[in-house]
Amino acid sequence: MMDSSVKIINEWDIVAARQLGRNVAKELGFGTVDQARITTAISELARNIYLYAGQGEITIEKIENEAKKGIIIISRDAGPGISDLRKVMEDGFSTSGGLGAGLPGVKRLMDEFSIESDPRKGTLIQSVKWLR
């Protein structure tokens, strides 16, 4: 099993995270449209770290269960956390400021999405896309 991470500190690290995600997605056999979706999701998560947490890490892994293969993006930071998860998962909340797709966008681009956030510990987001 392959496992690799990119530390997100400045904006260029977003590009590195995308590159890593694209390589893994390509190796798995995702088509160009899905590759674009996966990298857009990675951008969004990495940009959230860069903008709101200051620093953190994006980990990309291949995953597999009995029936299918896929890619998982894990976004981890020790930032201020999100106090109102319901609010950030609402459509129109983050996009209204023109900041991008927001977390609902990531959720739509991927197949699975989970978020844990604690104001003291930061935020952990995991999102999976399965290969069809």
Q: Which residues bind other proteins (CB under 8 A)?
A: 31-33, 36-37, 40, 91-92, 95, 100-101, 104-105, 108-109
Smallest distance from the beta carbon of 107 to other proteins, in angstroms? 10
Smallest distance from the beta carbon of 37 to other proteins, in angstroms? 7
* Strand, coil or helix: 116: strand
Quick one: 58 or 109, whose CB is closer to other proteins? Answer: 109
Which helix (H) or strand (E) segment holds residue 33: the answer is: helix 32-48
Smallest distance from the beta carbon of 34 to other proteins, in angstroms? 9
Smallest distance from the beta carbon of 108 to other proteins, in angstroms? 5
Identify whether the C-beta of residue 48 lies closer than 8 Å to the C-beta of residue 75.
yes
Neighbouring C-alpha atoms within 13 Å toward the C-beta of 98: 0
**Distances from the Cα of 26 to the Cα of 29, 70, 103, angstroms:** 5, 11, 24
Quick one: 80 or 100, whose CB is closer to other proteins? Answer: 100
Separation of CA 57 from chain center: 10
Quick one: 46 or 76, whose CB is closer to other proteins? Answer: 46
Quick one: 62 or 108, whose CB is closer to other proteins? Answer: 108
